[in-house]
Amino acid sequence: MTKPQSWEARADEYSLYGFTDLPSVASRGAVVLTHGEGPYVVDVNGRRYLDANSGLWNMVAGFDHKGLAEAAKAQYDRFPGYHAFFGRLSDQTVMLSEKLVEVSPFERGKVFYTNSGSEANDTMVKMLWFLHASEGNPQRRKILTRWNAYHGVTVVSASMTGKPYNEVFGLPLPGFIHLTCPHFWRYGEAGETEEQFTARLVRELEDTIRREGPDTIAGFFAEPVQGAGGVIPPSKGYFQAVLPILRKYGIPMIADEVITGFGRTGNTWGCQTYGFMPDAIISSKNLTAGLFPMGAVILGGDLADRVQAAVEKIEEFPHGFTASGHPVGCAIALKAIDVVMNEGLADNVKRLAPRLEEGLRAIMERSEHIGELRGVGFMWALEAVRDKATRTPFDGSLSVSERIANACTDLGLICRPLGQSIVLCPPFVLTEAQMDEIFDKLERALRKVFAEVA
Ligand code: PLP
């Protein structure tokens, strides 16, 4: 058998693609990349693309940040790998935990490391199950999340995820309960105000807790802004209303800040942007500015004390990954936090977020087929609709958002189709000129596709 020759054919031959629309790849070919320059990535044919998705929300410092690469190289030279079992761990791991608690909204806390956001959510669920059992409540195992949530792909985090595609795996597992997604524009009922919508969702939460039995619920997980659900900020007052209900029934609230953490929403944490205090935070992605696979569970003081007491009872927390707290990952994360918070990246998001919103709003207003613009900071979505007045979506078979994303790619712009939305979450290093390039290419792509399908 002769081996395939082109990069695209070799990619097809040997890859089992994940989260990839096969007909699109079959007709267009995979995009095989060699390197990056700031917010741009470059393919094997020398084509440059402005990656308005920061890779997968994570490459916030762009694709060629020298300081981050140097921090990685220095740590590889100094101490290239270790674990965090048996009370042995690297100095970088200790320093990062200290730093994460310092930059967290918690006054005190403890940190546990994983290799990904999915594993961090799994770890948090195991911690809750372990904690409740240790405190004499082994029946507290049910997990509350919301439809459209994305918490990952492992068996537990996929069960937490509120997406129909997990049915092909026979998921969710029993005991994972999904509540209404707080997207007022889409799920608000005729005549309902946004405040009434929020109140309805909070009633649903309390009814669900009562129906299931408050002492059967282990925890409630929520992204401050649903990311892979299509950038859905909470409806007005949502978290302020949800928190007291959870407190009333002693249910820990976990903020999944895998996307929203470290500046994406304009503040260090999404929970700060939306004014609520969770019991723990799940972090990943931006934590290492995408340069190392790493996730972290950051427990706030009270939960940390309770988990610590449970661990002390049996003298060991029987959980951990070989690469938990990897010294190179921790050195990169320390540098990434410094770069984002002290070298102007977070400030750039704050400064340019209103300009990004304004430009996208102008595009929406000029388009007959963009029904909603939603987002915050440097995470936005434009929702395509056939009819703006009635908010009627395009026929799914038209794959409108995929067509828009493909038209953008043809123009040298990467953005992501999610449902009928187009998502933009650019790297924090974006300049005004690069933002204008996004506006220009996106609008040209929208015009082309809407002329074809409308
Ligand atoms: N949680 C959220 C909010 C995410 O957006 C993601 C990934 O996109 C995850 C968890 C899972 O992270 P990972 O892909 O690193 O497992």
ipTM value of the model?
Answer: 0.99
Q: pLDDT digits over 95-127, tens only?
A: 999 999 999 999 999 999 999 999 999 999 999
- For residue 328, which phi and psi values (nearest 5 degrees)? -70, -45
Q: Model-level pTM greater than 0.90? A: yes
Which residue has the least CA distance to atom 13 on ligand 1? 117
Q: What mean pLDDT is predicted for residues 134-148?
A: 98
Q: Is the CB of 278 under 6 A from ligand 1?
A: no
In ligand 1, the atom with minimum distance to the C-alpha of 285 is 15
pLDDT band for position 24 (50/70/90)? Answer: confident
> Which atom of ligand 1 approaches the CA of 119 most closely?
16
CB of 118 closer than 6 A to ligand 1?
A: yes
> Ligand 1 test: best mutation among 58, 122, 258, most atoms within 8 Å of CB?
258
What is the number of the ligand 1 atom nearest to the C-alpha of 56?
8
pLDDT of residue 308: 98
Cβ of 227 closer than 6 Å to ligand 1, yes or no, is yes
Does residue 418 line the site of ligand 1, with CB under 6 A?
no
- Is it the case that residue 6 has pLDDT exceeding 90? yes
Residue 50 in this model has a pLDDT that exceeds 90? yes
pLDDT band at 130 (very low <50, low <70, confident <90, very high): very high
Evaluate the omega torsion of the peptide bond into residue 172 and state whether it is cis, within 30 degrees of 0. yes
User: 286 in ligand 1 pocket by Cβ < 6 Å?
Assistant: no
CA distances from 283 to 58, 79, 399 (A): 11, 24, 32
User: Of the CATH numbers 3.30.750.24, 3.40.50.1820, 3.40.50.620, 3.90.1150.10, which one belongs to the domain with range 31-64+344-453?
Assistant: 3.90.1150.10
Would residue 344 be called left, alpha or beta, if left means φ above 0 and alpha means ψ between -120 and 50 degrees? left
- Is the pLDDT score of 140 beyond 90? yes
Does residue 323 have a pLDDT over 80? Answer: yes
- Give the model's confidence band at 66: pLDDT under 50 very low, under 70 low, under 90 confident, else very high: very high
pLDDT of residue 453: 94
Residue nearest to atom 10 of ligand 1 (CA): 151
Q: What are phi and psi of 297, to 5 degrees?
A: -100, 120
Place of tokens 């060991």: 316
Name the more confident of 143 and 1: 143
Which of 283, 284, 286, 287 should be mutated for ligand 1, with most atoms under 8 A from CB?
284
- Assess whether pLDDT exceeds 90 at residue 2: no
150 in ligand 1 pocket by Cβ < 6 Å?
yes
CB 224 within 8 A of CB 265: yes
Ligand 1 center from residue 150 Cα (angstroms): 7
Res. 331: pLDDT tops 90: yes
Closest atom of ligand 1 relative to the 149 alpha carbon = 3
- For ligand 1, the distance from its centroid to the CA atom of residue 422, given in whole angstroms, is 18
What pLDDT score does 45 carry? Answer: 96
> Are the C-beta atoms of 256 and 282 separated by less than 8 Å?
yes
- The pLDDT tens digits for 357-378 are 999 999 999 999 999 999 999 9
For the segment 248-258, the average pLDDT, to the nearest whole number, is: 98
Q: State the pLDDT at residue 348.
A: 98
Does pLDDT of 1 surpass 90?
Answer: no
| pLDDT higher than threshold 80 for residue 328 | yes
pLDDT-derived band at 346, boundaries 50, 70, 90: very high
Span 408-427, mean pLDDT? Answer: 97
What is the residue with the minimal CA distance to atom 7 of ligand 1?
Answer: 152
Residue 454 predicted with pLDDT over 90: no
Pocket residue to mutate for ligand 1, from 114, 160, 269, 285, most atoms within 8 A of Cβ: 285
Ligand 1 close to Cβ of residue 325 (< 6 A): no
Confidence of residue 27 (pLDDT cuts 50, 70, 90): very high
Q: Degrees (nearest 5) of the Cα angle 424, 429, 433?
A: 75
pLDDT of residue 17: 97
Q: So where are the chain's domains?
A: 31-64+344-453, 68-342
Q: Quote the Cα angle for 125-129-134, to 5°.
A: 145
The CATH number of 68-342 is 3.40.640.10
359 C-beta closer than 6 A to ligand 1: no
CA 151 to CA 114: how far, in whole Å? 14
pLDDT greater than 80 at residue 232: yes
Give distance in angstroms: CA of 314 to centre of ligand 1.
31
What φ, ψ does residue 42 adopt, rounded to 5°?
-125, 135
Question: Ligand 1 in contact with 181 (CB < 6 A)?
Answer: no
159-216 pLDDT, tens digit per residue, is 999 999 999 999 999 999 999 999 999 999 999 999 999 999 999 999 999 999 999 9
Write down the mean pLDDT value for the chain: 97
pLDDT above 90 for 440: yes
What type of residue is 208?
T
**CA distance to 181, 363, 364, per residue, from 393 (Å):** 18, 18, 15
| pLDDT for position 267 | 98
pLDDT greater than 80 at residue 82: yes
